[in-house]
Amino acid sequence: MFKALATLTLCALALPAAPANINIPIEKYKLDNGLRVILSQDNTLPVVAVYIVYDVGARSEERGRTGFAHLFEHMMFEGSANVKKGEHMRYVESNGGSFNGSTHPDYTNYFETMPSNKLAVALWLESDRMRSLAITPENLTNQKEAVKQERRLSFDNQPYATAIVDKWPQLAFQNWQSSHSLIGSFEDLNAATIEDVSKFFKTYYAPNNAVLTIVGDIQIGEAKKLVQTYFADIPSQPQPKRPDLAEPTSNSRAKSEVYKDVLAKVPGVVIGYAGPPRGSDDFYAMVILDALLTGGDSSRLQQDLVKGKKSVVQYQGDLGWPFAAADDYKSPGEYATFLVYKPNFQSNQIVDQYQDEVARIQKEGVTAEELHRAQTLLLSSKLNQLQTSLGRATLLANFEVLDGAPEEINSLLGKYEAVTAAQVQSVAKKYLSPNQRVVLAIQPDANAKPNAATNPQGGR
């Protein structure tokens, strides 16, 4: 907390920023089996969020095991010793709650938001699948097919998706851990045996590889007892090996490729640069730079390219794009922007227009007014996110699993507010230079071969 106050004092001199003096209470401890627990009490409303993060994502996968992280997200809804297949959803719904789960490059999450009288139900559900997931041949076969079907519908049958999901990581990263298909290959999925899957579960879905975050209408003492009751006797496992994500360093990694997309009707281009280390001063400046370039109707890309040059139709950009955002960006990562543009322009013209926007910031810097608008935008969107128990649980868990420091939630806003115009200009120069730029042009081509359901880098 003292950090937030310090940065606030600094920025109070610079600009009339909002006092982002938030103080989310945090109680962090560890069970004997290694399960990390974060409790945050707020009794304003009778709502509680239960959020479990497993420290395994697509970048943790081994060769020949691509798609396992995602396959598991499916398996986790297939039932456990005391919760039959399909019942998870019904228990949450009929108790007035909502739920979901998702796979990310560096973690996998599962969560429920419930009326607070139902906390025990959520803990019962989550502990039962951590303890006794039903890994049966039937479930495995079903979910292999479900994952393949999801891939066909959500990726192979959508414009841009195959290029972005499979091709982009290969261009942006050299280390296989980051460059392989995060959805996985059909070949690897087909080859997955019950033993492979059981081993993956035992290794990565162990309490010592998880963070349990409970936010909302709880009493700390009672919550601790419930956590003890439901989770304490789940045995721990040897700590899993962490992947080596290091990228080779090079002075120039500039690259450009063209992907012919049979489903796209309008051309698009992805432009990316290696991003700063998570949590560094450069990182926070980069988030502000992104807000200034891409955030809201008043952003540079909107005003100069969509409206001014009338070349770009839509765009999105973020640290960690497309699989992560600033909140869960982990180094090494990219700062990437995807722009869809009008067919009477060429991809290199769009890349030049984009780089010109960057160059203008590199040369002229940004105005105090623009900086303040970007900071305000970020501040209000973060505060909106913090309103819900799930929003707070997500941030707390991200900070724990990626930084081991959930208390960062309370200094985050101060760090955004402390960024200066000089820092924004400096990160634009340091990171967004053409000789570090990777470009993937996605061109509509009705004659191109259908988007592949297998990925050469995914296989053994």
Partner 1 sequence: MFRLYAAAAFLGLILPSGFVNAADIDRSKPPETPPIPNVKLPNIERFQLPNGLSVVAAEDLRFPLVSFRIAFLAGSKYDPKDLPGLSDNVAALLNQGTSTRNARQIAEESADLGGDIGAASSSDTLTIFGSCLSENTSRFLALLADVARNASFPDDEVQLQKQNRLQTLRAERSQAGYVAREALSDALFGPHPYSHFGPTEQALAALNKAALQSFRDTYLAPNNAFLIVVGRLPSKDDLKKLVTEQFGSWQQKTLPAYQPPPIPGNAKKLILVDRPGSVQADIISAHIAPTYGSPEFFPLSVGEMVLGGGTNSRLFQDIREKRGFAYDAHAENNSMKETGVVSAVTEVRNEVVEPAVEALNADLTVLSKQDVTATELTDAKDSYAGRFILRLERQSGLAEQLVRVETNGLPKDYLELFTTRVRSVEPDQIRATGKYWAPDDATLVIVGDAQKIQKSLEKVGTFELKKPKQ
- Contact positions toward partner 1, by CB under 8 A? 18-20, 22, 42, 44-47, 81-82, 86, 89-91, 93-98, 113-121, 124-125, 128, 217, 221-222, 225, 228-230, 232-233, 296-298, 372-373, 376-377, 379-380, 383-384, 386-389
Shortest Å distance, C-beta 141 to partner 1: 20
The C-alpha atoms of residue 386 and residue 362 are separated, in whole angstroms, by 33
Between 234 and 340, whose beta carbon lies closer to partner 1? 234
CA angle 450, 454, 460 (to 5 degrees): 160
Given phi > 0 = left and psi -120 to 50 = alpha, else beta, which region is 184?
left
Shortest Å distance, C-beta 139 to partner 1: 18
Between 44 and 435, whose beta carbon lies closer to partner 1? 44
The β-bridge partners of 272 are: 336, 438
Between 261 and 290, whose beta carbon lies closer to partner 1? 290
Shortest Å distance, C-beta 113 to partner 1: 6
Task: Report which of 156, 152, 160 is spatially closest to residue 259, judged by C-alpha positions.
Answer: 160
The C-alpha atoms of residue 116 and residue 110 are separated, in whole angstroms, by 18
Shortest Å distance, C-beta 386 to partner 1: 6
Shortest Å distance, C-beta 108 to partner 1: 23
The C-alpha atoms of residue 17 and residue 51 are separated, in whole angstroms, by 32
Give the position of tokens 């984009």. 354
Between 96 and 137, whose beta carbon lies closer to partner 1? 96
Task: Report which of 143, 145, 124, 147 is spatially closest to residue 134, judged by C-alpha positions.
Answer: 143
Shortest Å distance, C-beta 230 to partner 1: 7
Distance between alpha carbon 97 and the CA centroid of its chain, in Å? 23
Between 219 and 252, whose beta carbon lies closer to partner 1? 219
Distance between alpha carbon 281 and the CA centroid of its chain, in Å? 20
Between 371 and 424, whose beta carbon lies closer to partner 1? 371
Amino acid at 244: D
The C-alpha atoms of residue 412 and residue 410 are separated, in whole angstroms, by 6
The C-alpha atoms of residue 287 and residue 293 are separated, in whole angstroms, by 10
Between 97 and 267, whose beta carbon lies closer to partner 1? 97
Alpha helices in 205-250 (DSSP H): 220-231
Q: Which secondary structure element, helix H or strand E, spans residue 313, and what is its range?
A: strand 312-319
Shortest Å distance, C-beta 1 to partner 1: 16
The C-alpha atoms of residue 372 and residue 383 are separated, in whole angstroms, by 16
Between 93 and 356, whose beta carbon lies closer to partner 1? 93
Cβ-based neighbour number of residue 191 at 10 Å: 13
Shortest Å distance, C-beta 313 to partner 1: 15
